[in-house]
Structure formats: C-alpha cells, structure tokens
Copies of this chain bind each other. A is one copy, B any other.
C-alpha cells in the first residue's frame, strides 16, 4: 500500500469498525426506544439476564466499561425499577447488581429484537456469524496485549 493510501479513511479498519458499530446501534434504537432503554442499558440487561447478582466490577469486565460509565447508567436502571444495587456484605468495596421482578420480566419483550435487527442487514446468517467470530478474536487479541503491557 502506498504512503498515501495508508491514511485513506476507507482503508482504515478502525474507521470501518467505528462507523459500522454506530450504524448497527442505530438499528436497535427504534425497538429500544419503545422499552425506554438505551443501547448501553440494553447490553447491560443482557448480561444481567445471563448472570444475575453480579458485581459492578464483573459487569464492567464483561462489557468493557468502567465505573465512570456504569455507575450513572446503573443508577438510571435502578430509578427505572429494573435493578437493585447493594453493597456486598462479605466485601463492602463491592456493589452487587440484582434484577427486580420488573427487570426480569423485561427479557420477554426483548427476545425478538436481535432477529428483527439482523433481518435488516440482509446478510446470510452464516456470514454474520463469521464476522462476529472474527471480531471476538480481534477484541480478545487486543485485550490480551493490553494486559501484557502492564509489565
């Protein structure tokens, strides 16, 4: 690749990711708006539906988000009646997030959303699945290299 081409926006993997992530997120918005959830709140709920009673720390590791993002977001979910936050009695430094009945019930209203969104991409399921695996791999590799940089 020539010196010039290397900086072309369309040759940047980072920009392809950045733009694509935002476009896909936009597809979720109309569905999530109906439920009063933002996209980040939605993925947070996905984790909680998988693993209830989880420390903020673990939630952050799962979502690649820190407390600066999660604390205000979780306060909003709590204000909406979907979760409860309480200190871990065994270790008061830790805050445990727990679903309310209402929070648990919301899962059934969300079940169809991923399919509806994927349909709009009009790509074969297999291709989407492959893409997802490649992204996981890349994310993991980067994450590993970040940890190894802590030496």
Q: Which residues of A contact B (CB under 8 A)?
A: 3, 6-28, 39, 43, 46-47, 49-50, 62-64, 107, 110-111, 114-115, 117-118, 120-123, 127-128, 131-132, 134-139, 141-143, 145-146
Contacts and interface: CB of A to CB of B under 8 A. Distances in A.
A122 to B, nearest CB: 6
B139 A19 contact: yes
Contacts of A6: 111, 114-115
Nearest to A117: B14
A46 B7 contact: yes
B141 A122 contact: yes
Contacts of A118: 13
Contacts of A43: 9, 12, 14-15, 18
B114 A12 contact: yes
B131 A145 contact: no
Nearest to A13: B132
Contact of A24 (B17, B47, B63): B17
Given A3-B111, A7-B111, A142 B15 contact: no
A68 to B, nearest CB: 13
Nearest to A120: B145
A90 to B, nearest CB: 26
Contacts of A18: 21, 24-25, 39, 43
A135 B9 contact: no
